[in-house]
Amino acid sequence: MNFPDKLKSYQDRIDKHLRSDLPGSSTRPSRLHGAMNYSLQAGGKRLRPVLLLASHDLFPGQNDPIPAALAVEIIHTYSLIHDDLPAMDNSDLRRGVPTCHKAFDESTAILAGDALIPLAFELVAKGYQKIPELGLKLVNLLAENAGSQKLVGGQMEDLLAEGKQPDEDTLMYVHANKTAAMIRVSLLMGFLLGSRANDDDLLNLVSQAGYSLGLAFQAVDDLLDITSTTIELGKDASHDKDAGKMTWVSMIGPENARELAQQHTEHALASIDEIGGENQFLLELTHYMLRRKN
């Protein structure tokens, strides 16, 4: 199967389960479930669950990766809903449609984000209850990476840095935690559900690949803010620039940011290459992430 077809088949599989495995929009309170499903089904590249499935397929095993894949997309979606709120980035557009608080209202969007967090953990806990040792490990990994020293911590420092003089230490902290942590943990969870989960050398390589891929992804995201249009992005272009965000573009300029994205991509490719297994799709996905337009 060629790369675009494989990517689409992963995305379709995730979309299907997001529609069928979660409480539907008519579940009481329907306004809350309506808002949760609105944001989950607004689209999005499904990058994190695709990475999880592809990482699982490196060395496939008997475990079903879908509950974990849904969980990482659900945590990511909550973070977008909360990030878009007026108290944070105050964005009107996300995934090509009005943000959750614009389509509903602020209180509903806060609650929709809140409710998505335990839903993600419920899926992992229930999905892997027959393999409790691995299940707990996955719960722990997801909690750590979504928590105050990773995703939320990165978001906190990102907000604190707005309008400040750019400094590399802060920027690295924000990118490593706000962005790379969830990308890395997606690869790790997929790998741990596969048949080589006990191979620590491979696990280390997967971790390194995830970290580099996450940093490359964020450097590209910084560039897209100034090179892509609102239509292409599905969210406001020039948002970072207008908000005085600390980005690689504001710190080292677009050419150096592009160079940096390239370097992180090469590191990721080297690790994925060394991992071996059925790694062709992940190698192609890494290239695709560098040339993406949204």
Is 155 among the residues that bind ligand GRG (CB under 6 A)?
yes
Distance in Å, CB of 72 to ligand GRG, minimum: 11
Q: Which is nearer to ligand GRG, 76 or 101 (CB)?
A: 76
Is 228 among the residues that bind ligand GRG (CB under 6 A)?
no
Residue selected from 33, 150, 178, 267 as contacting ligand GRG according to rule CB under 6 A? 178
Distance in Å, CB of 99 to ligand GRG, minimum: 11
Of 290, 292, 227, which Cα lies nearest the Cα of 260?
290
Is 83 among the residues that bind ligand GRG (CB under 6 A)?
yes
Footprint on residues 250-269 left by ligand GRG (CB under 6 A): none
Footprint on residues 8-67 left by ligand GRG (CB under 6 A): 44-45, 47
**Which of these ranges, 11-19, 62-70, 76-84, 189-197, lies near ligand GRG under the rule CB under 6 A?**
76-84
The amino acid occupying position 256 is: N
Is 80 among the residues that bind ligand GRG (CB under 6 A)?
yes
Distance in Å, CB of 79 to ligand GRG, minimum: 4
Helix residue ranges, H only, 128-253: 132-146, 151-161, 168-174, 181-192, 200-227, 230-233, 239-242, 248-252
Residue selected from 54, 58, 151, 209 as contacting ligand GRG according to rule CB under 6 A? 151
CA distance 182 to 291: 21
CA distance 74 to 119: 8
Q: Where are the beta strands (DSSP E) in the chain?
A: 93-94, 97-98
Contact 110, 85 (CB under 8 A): yes
| 3-class DSSP assignment, residue 246 | coil
Q: Which is nearer to ligand GRG, 164 or 293 (CB)?
A: 293
Of 285, 207, 235, which Cα lies nearest the Cα of 84?
235
Q: Are strands 93-94 and 97-98 parallel, antiparallel or unpaired?
A: antiparallel
CA distance 92 to 97: 8
Of 190, 180, 177, 211, which Cα lies nearest the Cα of 69?
190
Residue selected from 36, 50, 66, 95 as contacting ligand GRG according to rule CB under 6 A? 95
Contact 257, 225 (CB under 8 A): no
Q: Which residue is nearest to ligand GRG (CB)?
A: 44
Distance in Å, CB of 198 to ligand GRG, minimum: 30
Residue selected from 186, 221, 223, 258 as contacting ligand GRG according to rule CB under 6 A? 221
Contact 205, 271 (CB under 8 A): yes
**Which of these ranges, 3-11, 63-71, 102-110, 150-158, lies near ligand GRG under the rule CB under 6 A?**
150-158
Angle at 168 between CA 293 and CA 271, to 5 degrees: 60
Q: Which is nearer to ligand GRG, 57 or 221 (CB)?
A: 221
Distance in Å, CB of 249 to ligand GRG, minimum: 12
Binding site for ligand GRG (CB under 6 A): 44-45, 47, 76, 79-80, 82-83, 95, 151-152, 155, 178-179, 221
